[in-house]
Amino acid sequence: AQSVTQLGSHVSVSEGALVLLRCNYSSSVPPYLFWYVQYPNQGLQLLLKYTSAATLVKGINGFEAEFKKSETSFHLTKPSAHMSDAAEYFCAVRMNYGGSQGNLIFGKGTKLSVKP
Amino acid sequence: KAGVTQTPRYLIKTRGQQVTLSCSPISGHRSVSWYQQTPGQGLQFLFEYFSETQRNKGNFPGRFSGRQFSNSRSEMNVSTLELGDSALYLCASSYRTSGLSIETQYFGPGTRLLVL
């Protein structure tokens, strides 16, 4: 069965510092990969998705993620954290069953805190 | 284009009651998926509807059901509510083609259900 592991339920960085949120997936076939962000009392907003066109994916708000097949990882990074980045981040995978796409499987989430 | 809307946003029920939640997808989107989010279990897939048919179902008891109407709007119903059903229920819509393009699920703000 597919699964997603997000290392670190809480990550704290200083404003202006590098943000690195880790995500590893388990699958024999590279799945579709997504990062979502959730602000308090809101739904999920898509940050970026892996489409297999390029291993380095750029998303909104300055975030990017690199797909590494050999490491089965899809870590999320941002060069310089901003106070507004404080939120919970979810990595998700979605399988492609020969053209029929399965449901999203989410990691447990990582809460990002940004210190002034 | 309007986003995914969910009603009501907040709901308080007592054990044993039943509840119906509503989701209106983005215009033109034909697939609606439902997820349950709790602090303990995280985000879990409930079911997906496409063209008024349930296409996929998560591992939830039969008390959880749903349906989709011809205009793609969807409802989910939970009967005989239990305390553990307290959660944020998120609805997501996508266009859903039969091709190989990676479809993005767009989430609504959720309905927060509290069972007393």
- Tens of pLDDT along A84-102? 999 999 999 887 655 556 6
CB pairs under 8 A between A and B: 57
pLDDT score for B55: 85
Q: What is the pLDDT of residue A15?
A: 97
- Using one digit for the tens of pLDDT, what is the confidence trace for A46-90? 999 887 778 899 999 999 999 998 899 999 999 999 999 999 999
| Cα gap B93→B48, rounded to integer Å | 9
By the CB < 8 Å criterion, does B2 face chain A? Answer: no
Q: Chain B contacts of A47, Cβ < 8 Å?
A: none
Contact flag A103-B108 (C-beta cutoff 8 Å): no
For the stretch B35-83, pLDDT in tens is: 999 998 999 999 889 889 998 888 899 999 999 999 999 999 999 999 9
**Residues of B whose CB is below 8 A from A96:** 100, 102
Written in H, E and C, the secondary structure of chain A is CCEEECCCCEEEEECCCCEEECCEEECCCCCEEEEEEECCCCCEEEEEEECCCCCEEECHHHCEEEEECCCCEEEEEECCCCHHHCEEEEEEEEEEECCEEEEEEECCCEEEEEEC
The answer, yes or no, to whether residue B105 has pLDDT greater than 60, is yes
